[in-house]
A and B are shown apart, each in its own frame.
Chain A
Amino acid sequence: GENVGLHLPTLSVQEGDNSIINCAYSNSASDYFIWYKQESGKGPQFIIDIRSNMDKRQGQRVTVLLNKTVKHLSLQIAATQPGDSAVYFCAEKGGGTSYGKLTFGQGTILTVHP
């Protein structure tokens, strides 16, 4: 079946550094991707999304890159802050009859050291 996974389960960075979190997906029919941030005891918080007809999208301090050729998604966080420490999930929505349900990866733990 389809699978969305992450290359690195943990990432530690210093405050002020840029962070890159990677995600591989296997469903070439997926048409929509989202990055979520989840803090302990909270639900996932939307960060940024991208549709399959785009390869890059920028938000405030965050950029998502989509490489459909190799089925790879990444989240770049600029000037990482201690408040960015959390678990980050990528999620994909399959195309066709998959409606709106999302398939989530296992998550990457980001730790930002002051």
Chain B
Amino acid sequence: GAGVSQSPSNKVTEKGKDVELRCDPISGHTALYWYRQRLGQGLEFLIYFQGNSAPDKSGLPSDRFSAERTGESVSTLTIQRTQQEDSAVYLCASSSGQLMAQHFGDGTRLSIL
């Protein structure tokens, strides 16, 4: 597709369950980012992938959060043993380089019961 695609668009799960969120970046974009947005707030950086370099994981809030990326395509963000404070919109973005604009998907709205 022409834009960043994320799935699912909505996810409701029980506390303690694991969830996996998917991001398909824009074709050809070498950089991929995950952010978290709590209700009424700005975006918090989580993790960044650039080509074959080691990812920048400095924004991951705990070891329950992890992310993988296959080459320069799909990425998955996994949250283990979900907690209620994990409820948020998880946004993925991609760009063609470090000083190029990041283009966002519409996010996955995660609700932990």
Contact = CB atoms under 8 A, between A and B. Distances in A.
A51 B103 CA distance: 17
Interface residues of A, number: 25
Contacts of B106: 41-43
Given A43-B91, A43-B107, A100 B102 contact: yes
Contact of A100 (B31, B58, B103, B104): B31
A11 to B, nearest CB: 16
Contacts of A34: 101-102
Given A45-B104, A100-B33, A31 B56 contact: no
B91 A44 contact: yes
Interface size class of B (residues with CB under 8 A): 20 to 34
Interface stretch (A12-20, A64-72, A74-82, A101-109): A101-109
Contacts of B4: 43
The 9 closest A-B pairs by CB, nearest first: A43-B104, A104-B42, A104-B43, A101-B45, A100-B98, A43-B106, A46-B101, A44-B104, A106-B42
